[in-house]
């Protein structure tokens, strides 16, 4: 008697030939482990709606004390000659001033075809348009977080450059990164916006680590920046710092190795020993708070710090009949902002680094080991060893790897943020969804947010400005 067995259907299953009545079982489960937090946009106060595209507020300071030599008993104030005897004081000019900032627009748009929205049966998704809008919301919020920590300088809409808000690194480091340099990253920035008054810029002593490796972080540098912040406010209080992942790890390293103070010549540096209960099954290897002479610093890790570390732009060219890749520091592709080769990365005296699929791992290891060496005078050019697809892919992968090394520097940054002195001012709703014209191709939506970063006074902020390599 003829029988029908399950294994007779095996060769009829999808991707192996014609299917005969067998349904594909696709779970409604969609896994996404990406749940990165955005601490600055989440924790900053929500300010009032800006009254204009450019808005201003006042900052004030108190006079410095002076040693007094006393007043003769019975001496009168001479109201007729205050300019000569300095009998009268005024506490406005030289003390109180205005600062200003601009609005900044963020936008995302989504489009879903009619068949996708109305006919297609997608596993785990009841409404694809709603899902696209949910993704756009996350994308917009993360982009705002990254933007607000950057060194973007304020600009006015002149028909070429849009309105831009002054972002956190530019507030703290003032305009040290000049508009000319930042033009490589963000395009032309006009100078029509009011500069921060010299009396209210973040002190140099509140910014530590500029140009140095994150491994140089030690107890003294943290104490120094907290001391500087205290000297501005005169308030002994706890602070919070939003820090990159590599900087957070370096704080933990302080538990195991003390680099402060520096050991005398020929002496070994002092060490800190971590102990635990012999009966405990847990080893604690984390520093979440740093308590110093002038308060406690809570560490809040973040993966969305920019802090002036702009992503490299990679441009593909044809070079001697093969594909090659140039890297640029910023979005403008001019020779003036070409990325330089690093001493010892195998680029030689020309800056040319030739890569094949066969030697990719070796070249990658050399670039990594050379990342802390000095930059050369030669612009970097990553060249495919041949015209093959595999060699072209290897060259592109190495260019991206070099760009990722540079991006690691942002993980070494951190901001000491007094939350009472920072707010985000939104225009209308935080993110407004608008329905766009549907011309037959399916529903379209636009999500838009208008926001500006308001720093009440840069004096109260601090910054860890370390890096991890020279890439």
Structure confidence at residue 469 (pLDDT): 92
* Residue among 56, 42, 105 nearest 428 (CA): 105
Q: Does residue 182 lie within any of the structural domains?
A: yes
Q: Which residues contact 18 (CB under 8 A, 6 or more apart)?
A: 12
SS3 433: strand
Q: Give the CA diameter of the chain.
A: 130
CA atoms of 6 and 176, how far apart (whole Å): 73
**Residue 413 confidence (pLDDT) above 70:** yes
Domain-located, residue 144: yes
Check pLDDT > 70 for residue 354: yes
Region 312-330 average pLDDT: 93
Please give the span between the terminal C-alpha atoms of the chain, in angstroms, as a whole number: 74
5 assigned to some structural domain: no
SS3 readout for 79-132: CCCHHHHCCCCCCCCCCCEEEEEECEEEEEEEECCHHHHHCCCCCCCCCHHHHH
Q: Is the pLDDT of residue 276 over 60?
A: no
Residue 206 falls within a domain, yes or no? no
According to the model, what pLDDT value does residue 259 have? 47
pLDDT tens digit string along 401-411?
999 999 999 99
Higher pLDDT, 213 or 24: 213
Cβ-proximal residues to 124 (8 Å cutoff; 6+ apart), any chain: 27, 28, 29, 30
The pLDDT value recorded for residue 83 is 55
**Torsion-angle region of residue 330: left (phi > 0), alpha (psi -120 to 50) or beta?**
left
Is the model's pLDDT at 234 over the cut of 90?
no
Residue 90 tokens, joined: 């005024």
pLDDT at 359 over 90: yes
Residues 377 and 439 in one domain: no
pLDDT at 275 over 80: no
What local confidence, expressed as pLDDT, does residue 403 receive?
Answer: 93
Residue 11 has pLDDT above 60, yes or no: no
Count of domains observed in the chain: 2
pLDDT for the residue 29? 56
**How confident is residue 466, by pLDDT bands cut at 50, 70 and 90?**
very high
- Is the previous residue joined to 239 through a cis bond, with omega within 30 degrees of 0? no
Neighbouring-strand partners of residue 290: 297
Task: Choose from 94-98, 289-293, 312-316 the range with maximum mean pLDDT.
Answer: 312-316
Mean pLDDT of the region 204-219: 91
Residue 39 has, within 13 A of its CA and on its CB side, a CA count of 18
Of 78-82, 128-132, 262-266, 274-278, which range is least confident? Answer: 262-266
Task: Please identify which residue in the block is written with the tokens 């010892």.
Answer: 344
Whether 229 is in a domain gets the answer no
pLDDT over 80 at 185, yes or no: no
Q: Compute how many other C-beta atoms are within 10 angstroms of the C-beta atom of residue 413.
A: 26
Q: Is 166 exposed, middle or buried (0-12, 13-18, 19+ CB in 10 A)?
A: buried
pLDDT for position 262: 52
Token representation of residue 326: 């140039």
pLDDT of 260 higher than 50: no
Q: Is the dihedral of CA 111, 116, 118, 122 positive or negative?
A: negative
Return all residues near 443 (Cβ < 8 A) that are at least 6 apart.
111, 112, 117, 129, 435
Residue whose C-alpha is closest to residue 403's, from 387, 386, 382: 382
Find the domain containing 361 and state its range.
312-410
Q: Assess whether 402 and 429 both reside in one domain.
A: no
Q: Does any domain span residue 23? A: no
Q: pTM for the full model? A: 0.82
User: Does one domain contain both 387 and 316?
Assistant: yes
Average pLDDT estimate for 290-300: 89
> From residue 86, how far is each of 50, 81, 90, 378 by CA, in Å?
41, 8, 10, 61
The Cα 375–Cα 387 span in angstroms is 29
pLDDT value at position 177? Answer: 44
Q: What is the mean pLDDT of the chain?
A: 82
In-domain check, residue 253: no
Same domain, 109 and 187: yes
Considering the domain architecture, whether residues 365 and 328 belong to the same structural domain is answered as yes
Q: Within this chain, do residues 401 and 439 fall inside the same structural domain, yes or no?
A: no
Residues 235-260: b if buried by 16+ CB within 10 A, e if exposed = eeeebbbbbbebbbbbbebbeeebbb
Assess whether 127 and 193 both reside in one domain.
yes
pLDDT above 80 for 415: yes
378 falls within a domain? yes
d(CA 430, CA 29): 30
Question: Which of 104, 129, 97, 92 shows the shortest CA–CA distance to 54?
Answer: 104
């Amino acid at each position: 008697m003829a029988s029908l067995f399950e294994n007779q259907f095996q060769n009829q299953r999808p991707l192996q030939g014609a299917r005969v009545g067998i349904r594909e079982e696709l779970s409604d489960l969609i896994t996404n482990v990406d749940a990165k937090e955005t601490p600055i946009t989440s924790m900053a106060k929500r300010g009032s709606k800006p009254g204009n595209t450019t808005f201003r507020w006042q900052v004030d300071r108190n006079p410095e004390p002076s040693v007094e030599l006393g007043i003769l008993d019975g001496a009168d104030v001479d109201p007729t000659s205050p300019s000569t005897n300095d009998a009268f004081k005024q506490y406005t000019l030289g003390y109180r001033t205005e600062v200003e900032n601009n609005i900044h627009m963020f936008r995302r748009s989504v489009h879903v075809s009619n068949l996708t929205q109305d006919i297609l049966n997608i596993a785990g998704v009841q409404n694809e348009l709603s899902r696209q809008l949910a993704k756009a919301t996350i994308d917009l919020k993360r982009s705002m977080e990254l933007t607000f920590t950057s060194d973007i300088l304020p600009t006015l809409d002149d028909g070429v450059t849009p309105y831009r808000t002054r972002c956190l690194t530019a507030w703290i480091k003032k305009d040290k990164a000049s508009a000319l340099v930042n033009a490589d990253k963000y395009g032309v920035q006009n100078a029509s916006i009011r500069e921060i008054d010299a009396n209210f810029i973040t002190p140099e002593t509140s910014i530590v680590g500029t140009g140095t490796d994150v491994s140089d972080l030690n107890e003294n540098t943290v104490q120094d920046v907290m001391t500087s912040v205290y000297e501005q406010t005169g308030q002994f209080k706890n602070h919070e710092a939003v820090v990159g992942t590599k900087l957070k790890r370096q704080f933990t390293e302080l538990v195991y190795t003390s680099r402060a103070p520096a050991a005398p010549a020929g002496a070994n540096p002092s060490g800190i020993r971590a102990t635990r209960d012999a009966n405990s099954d847990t080893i604690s290897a984390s520093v979440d708070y740093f308590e110093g002479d002038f308060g406690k610093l809570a560490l809040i890790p973040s993966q969305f710090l920019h802090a002036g570390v702009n992503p490299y732009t990679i441009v593909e060219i044809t070079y001697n009949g093969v594909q090659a890749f140039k890297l640029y520091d910023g979005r403008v592709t001019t020779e003036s902002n070409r990325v330089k080769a690093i001493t010892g990365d195998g680029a030689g005296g020309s800056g040319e680094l030739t890569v094949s699929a066969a030697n990719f791992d070796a070249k990658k290891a050399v670039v990594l080991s050379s990342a802390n060496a000095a930059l050369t005078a030669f612009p970097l050019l990553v060249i495919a060893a041949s015209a093959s697809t595999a060699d072209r892919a290897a060259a592109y992968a190495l260019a991206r790897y070099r760009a990722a090394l540079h991006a690691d520097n942002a993980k070494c940054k951190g901001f000491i943020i007094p939350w009472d002195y920072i707010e985000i001012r939104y225009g209308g709703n935080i993110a407004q969804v608008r329905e766009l014209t549907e011309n037959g191709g399916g529903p379209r939506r636009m999500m838009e947010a208008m926001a500006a970063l308001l720093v009440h006074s840069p004096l109260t902020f601090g910054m860890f400005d370390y890096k991890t390599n020279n890439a």
